[in-house]
Amino acid sequence: MIRIGILGSDSSHAFAFATLCNIPDTHTGQYNFPDVRITAIYGHDKKQTEKTALDCKIEEIVSSPDELIGKVDAVMILFRDGNLHTSYAIPFIKAGIPVWIDKPLTVTLEDSKILLKEAEKHNCLITGGSTCKYSKDVLELKNIINNGSVGNVLAGYINFPGDINSPYNGIFFYGPHIVEMLFTIFGYKVKSLTTIKRDSNILCVADYDTYSVVLDFTKNLDHSLCVIHGDKKSHVGEIKIDSSTYKAGLDKFIEMLDTGIMPLSPDKLAASTKFLAAINESLETEKKVCLNLGY
């Protein structure tokens, strides 16, 4: 049995991941992950932590994160505030305990460097970010480009909720979703970006070598879609995010625990933080910002 501890009960993701591991599927009566359980949880909000533990049948609430060391085989860092992620992850990395870090990986570039340097130093498995990049719709859109059905890509568009004024570090709170979907569908080789703001909504133009993709961060959206324009034809695909998306992300984490192979390279893990930092820079300077994502 793989025992996983959760740090951070304030996000709905804690409930989503714990439900997938600890509560049998309502249709089949079977556990989604028979050999995996969320066995302990730590959170800053006592009532929310107790509610999540009760609703999701989590056996133990710990009063300090270090109590998890020796009790779990892996941890998931799920705090809404990305500024907390590095400091809470490092003790487990130093102990060699595999870590999933929810979006955003970090808020600052310095934190990303520290986090990934420690993971490499201690040969510790680490992954995470937005699970949206693993959704069925996103992977189908990726395949449409890879199989050549639209021909050579000429331009693209994606929309998804995002709030530059979020109290949880602005665009870093929800921005990783659309950015990591961009990377999955169109690739990581973004050369530069330009961003404009209107009220709390922003538009970002991500430039690749031969085409550009518009990212539409709109605060209140009831549906999301992606448009791919190719020299053979154009394709419009809806992007739906539901419980299966959380499961797809958890599949990747558990696969990493089973195989010892990280699903994303360190450069890819850090890419969304670099991209979002560049968005803020472009907004501040009102200029195009060049990117070096390691590709």
* Per-position pLDDT tens, the chain of length 295: 999 999 999 989 999 999 999 999 888 899 999 999 999 999 999 999 999 999 999 999 999 999 999 999 999 999 999 999 999 999 999 999 999 999 999 999 999 999 999 999 999 999 999 999 999 999 999 999 999 999 999 999 999 999 888 999 999 999 999 999 999 999 999 999 999 998 878 999 999 999 999 999 988 788 899 999 999 999 999 999 998 999 999 999 999 999 999 999 999 999 999 999 999 999 999 999 999 887 6
Per the structure block, which two tokens stand in for 23? Answer: 């509560």
Q: What is the pTM of this model?
A: 0.96
Cβ proximity of 68 and 44 under 8 Å: no
Q: Helix (H, G, I), strand (E, B), or coil: what is residue 2?
A: strand
Phi, psi (degrees; rounded to nearest 5) at 21: -85, -35
The whole-number pLDDT of residue 219 equals 83
Pinpoint the alpha helices (H) of the chain.
Answer: 12-22, 46-55, 85-94, 109-121, 136-146, 171-186, 243-259, 266-285
pLDDT at 42: 98
CA atoms within 13 A on the CB side of 56: 28
How far lies 254's CA from each of 75, 259, 267, in Å? 11, 9, 21
Q: Same structural domain for residues 252 and 125?
A: yes
Residue 121, Cβ density class (10 Å: 0-12 exposed, 13-18 middle, ≥19 buried): exposed
In a domain, 6, yes or no: yes
Residues 31 and 125 in one domain: yes
Are 175 and 69 in a shared domain? no
CA-CA distance, 43 to 30, in Å (whole number)?
Answer: 28
- SS3 call for 92: helix
For residue 295, what pLDDT is reported? 62
CB atoms within 10 A of CB 210: 9
Q: Work out how many domains the chain is built from and give that number.
A: 2
**Does residue 269 form part of some domain?**
no
Provide the residue range defining the domain that includes 162: 132-240+274-290
pLDDT value at position 222? 80
